[in-house]
A and B are shown apart, each in its own frame.
Chain A
Amino acid sequence: MDHDTQQRNPFIFTFPEPLPLTEFISRISELSSSGYSPLGFFGTPEREILCLMGKAQHVPILLRTAFPAGHCYPSLSVTIPAFHIFERELWEEHGITPEGHPWLKPLRYPAGSPTKMESYPFFSSPSQALHEVGVGPVHAGVIEPGHFRFICQGESIQHLEIQLGYQHRGLAKLMANGDLRSKINLSEAIAGDSAIGHGLAYCIATEALCGAEAGSALKTPRRLALELERIAMHLADLSALAGDIAYLSGQNFFAALRTTIINSSLAICGSRFGKRWLCPGGINYGLNKEQNKTLRTTLLTAEKQIELSAKAMFSSSGVLNRFDSTGCISRKTAQELNMTGITAKAAGLQVDVRADFPAFEEGIFQAEILASGDVYARAYLRYKEIRQSLQMIDFWLSTLPDVKAAAVPLAKPRPNLLALSLVEGWRGRIAHIVKTDQKGNTEFYRIIDPSLHNWFALALAVRNEGISDFPLCNKSFDLSYCGHDL
């Protein structure tokens, strides 16, 4: 792999010539109208704006322009809503104003920002018929901090504003400081529930920059880890969804099954969340014949139990009464907001990195989708994905030879390259974008968690729903606070 570009995930780009601003914008509009959606759009320390546009089965396109004169430019969100969150981020981080942006406000208050919570521009209404309900940032139970502000008419939600940023840890900077090859532990902590998803995205980006590739024997264990995480988290979500509607059987059965799955991960790598399983260049823990057999029997037993529990849950009229037609997202909204993952697929949008940007030489992968876009679709799709992943794992295990822990040694990252790695985590598309400078040090590291786009969809999904159904909708999205805040 000596050439400087790589045409498949993880993608490697050399920097293209910077475009003048007008051409930059017209190129984006052009790509957008031909089916491309933004994978990343951000300002760099070199005072440039980069934009990555992606389309299924196509190599993403990297565009580059210098910071506009006067620090303002006509907002892209007006015509392409998918950019609205990126433009808010750009405005917050670099003070570049997208003129005409429909709702310009801070995204996550990075360190050093002068903006104060007291002056946060919350949307409000002077109407006497409406009342505001503020929830958080400190919530009951052990969940992450985030502030939700509802404007309600009686029991019905007219508007929800979600304000996050309480978890901002400066992760992107931490990832960029020091040797890129030593960041596996940090990358696993980007969102603790997607340790493997983010860990894998980091690993393949790093390997691509270092010009190495994990041996083909190690690819299957990696995909297996990713699917195992998906199964475990989907089961946790099904359990929590049942808990939110006080359906005790579902809550207990799925929680118990999740334990079975994460204990399998514990047996392989010593961590229930799969931490330290992967490492850049390979894997830290292998899978011998014995473990292979145990895992296979465990998963087969679990599959039967999952089948029975899901059958009971999705045929209960009480459950359907709560799930059906609650918190609907239309396919159009999903597309406009650039949504990814389970929530987009439940609305009928065919987006899945495993099919669109395959990182492994996998066979033809067909993502499961559902059309209704309500809580029921998001719950049922989780069950379908669990089944799909279990079948894939079973197939891999049946052909997998004895795998030993192994890692190819990584040379220093190659200079002046940009790597884009995409991974379909259980929550959706995870994108890591790494750029090296002339000496091969990391110039910047961007992380784009699926939650970044999907949080806004939650706010739209609960409009005109009862406020008491909000927790259910929220759980059906199950978005990450720390993945958003970084």
Chain B
Amino acid sequence: MILNLFFMLVIPLLFVGIINKTKAIWAGRKGPSLLQPLFTFLKLLHKQEIHSLSSGHIFRWAPSLALTAVFFAALFVPFGSRQACFGFKGDFFLVMSLLALAKAVLVLAAMDTGSSFEGMGASREISFTAFLEPAFLLIIGSLAYAGGLERIGQLFYRHTVNIYNEWSVIIAVMTALALFIMLLVEGARVPFDDPATHLELTMIHEVMVLDTSGPNLALVHYASALKMQIYASLISYFLIPEGMGTLGITLVFLLGSFSLAVLAGLVESLMPRFRISRNLELVIIPLSVALLVLAALIVHNMGGF
């Protein structure tokens, strides 16, 4: 439990730090420290907040609510130990709803500012979600279909990749792919979004929090990093064989998360961004992959061909 909480607090910002470091090294620069996102987070907590005159009260409390929701959702996902902090049968519905709630309040807050940029960002963000949520539900549902109505953490943990069974490998690879694409979209990373850009008109996630400042901005940064880490955790728990020791689980979790961060960094270094008009076509990929996972699971359960 303590381990879970500790990793929940530290790893997400480190995850962002590793992505940035990977990009810097690829570009031939030294780059900022791995802990820079953490320093920025602490710095922002000390800053004064500025509110635009056109914004109402939603704008002020939305970031805290979003973070609470994401944090609460993360408690159901194991972070480095065998069990998550909480869990009950079918808790993935709650997890998904909490993530959706976090997004909903941020979108409301963006529209609350009355800025035309933020309205644009909100509409873009929501249009992606429309395709991502069904994909997530379908994947979890498929795993639940195979492993019984279990806790979300156990669903992934139970589905250890059995390299001697081709269907097991196919399911794992496709689920990991779908989750990784979701990680990139939800984390507002290249090729779907560009966290490094200064061009308001091209932003998606960043533009929604353009007016947010000070502690609220820190909360938004942390919440979005935590959301990425939730996906990274789920993917790394795939790799943990059942019956592994506690230390082994922690090690595989850390190794898995950090490799995913490096992978995300490499994707950003090598790929240009997609056109926003094409993004929607590409966000459908996880949904199609999720359907394939379901098909593979059905075949697997029937004992293969």
Contact = CB atoms under 8 A, between A and B. Distances in A.
A249 B270 contact: yes
B272 A471 contact: no
Nearest to A323: B272
A316 interface: yes
A133 B115 CA distance: 9
Given A248-B27, A467-B120, A135 B272 contact: no
Contact of B269 (A249, A470, A472): A249
Contacts of B117: 133
A247 B116 contact: no
A246 B116 contact: no
Given A133-B116, A246-B190, A468 B201 contact: yes
B271 A470 contact: no
A161 interface: no
Interface string A124-139: 0000000111110000
Interface in B99-156: 116-117, 119-120
B280 to A, nearest CB: 10
A252 B28 contact: yes
Contacts of A247: 271-273
A318 B199 contact: no
A140 interface: yes
A140 B179 CA distance: 33
Contact of B275 (A134, A141, A244, A469): A469
A131 B119 CA distance: 11
B201 A471 contact: yes
A471 B199 contact: yes
A321 interface: yes
A319 B275 CA distance: 10
A246 B276 contact: no
Contacts of A131: 116, 119
A155 B276 contact: yes
Contacts of A319: 272
A248 B267 CA distance: 10
Contacts of B221: none
B23 A466 contact: no
A322 interface: yes
Nearest to B26: A248
Contact of A133 (B120, B198, B268): B120
Interface string A102-145: 00000000000000000000000000000111110000110000
B206 to A, nearest CB: 10
A212 interface: no
B278 A468 contact: no
Contact of A321 (B116, B120, B200, B278): B278
A155 B277 CA distance: 8
Contact of A135 (B27, B201, B269, B271): B201
B277 A466 contact: yes
Nearest to B277: A466
Contacts of A256: 28
A245 interface: yes
Contact of A245 (B27, B272, B277): B272
A466 B199 CA distance: 14
Contacts of B272: 242, 245-247, 316, 318-319, 321-322
Given A135-B200, A140-B199, A252 B277 contact: no
A461 to B, nearest CB: 15
Interface in B166-201: 190-191, 194, 196-201
A246 B196 contact: yes
B36 interface: no
Contacts of B274: 318, 321-322
B116 A132 contact: yes
Contact of B273 (A135, A155, A245): A245
Query: Of B116, B201, B271, which is in contact with the most chain A CB atoms at under 10 Å from its CB?
Result: B201
Contacts of A141: 198
Nearest to B278: A321
A15 B269 CA distance: 60
Given A131-B116, A133-B120, A140 B273 contact: no
Contacts of B200: 135, 140
B202 interface: yes
Given A133-B120, A135-B201, A321 B275 contact: yes
Contacts of A244: 197, 199, 202
Given A134-B116, A141-B198, A318 B191 contact: yes
A322 B273 contact: yes
Interface string B1-39: 000000000000000000000010011110000000000
A252 to B, nearest CB: 4
B282 to A, nearest CB: 11
Contacts of B28: 252, 256
Interface in A233-264: 242, 244-249, 251-252, 256
Interface string A285-328: 00000000000000000000000000000001011011000000
Contacts of B190: 246
Nearest to B189: A246
Given A246-B196, A246-B273, A249-B270, A470 B23 contact: no
A316 B198 CA distance: 23
A461 B23 CA distance: 33
Interface string A443-486: 00000000000000000000000111111100000000000000
Query: Of B28, B29, B275, B277, which is in contact with the most chain A CB atoms at under 10 Å from its CB?
Result: B275
A146 B119 CA distance: 22
Contacts of B191: 246, 318
A434 B1 CA distance: 80
Given A246-B194, A322-B275, A252 B116 contact: no
Contacts of A469: 202, 275-276
6 contacts: A134-B116, A140-B199, A155-B120, A244-B199, A248-B269, A249-B26
Given A140-B199, A155-B276, A470-B201, 9 more contacts: A133-B116, A155-B277, A248-B270, A249-B27, A249-B269, A252-B29, A321-B274, A321-B278, A469-B275
Interface of B: 23, 26-29, 116-117, 119-120, 190-191, 194, 196-202, 268-278
Per CB-CB distance, the 5 closest pairs between chain A and chain B, nearest first, are: A247-B272, A318-B272, A140-B198, A471-B199, A468-B276
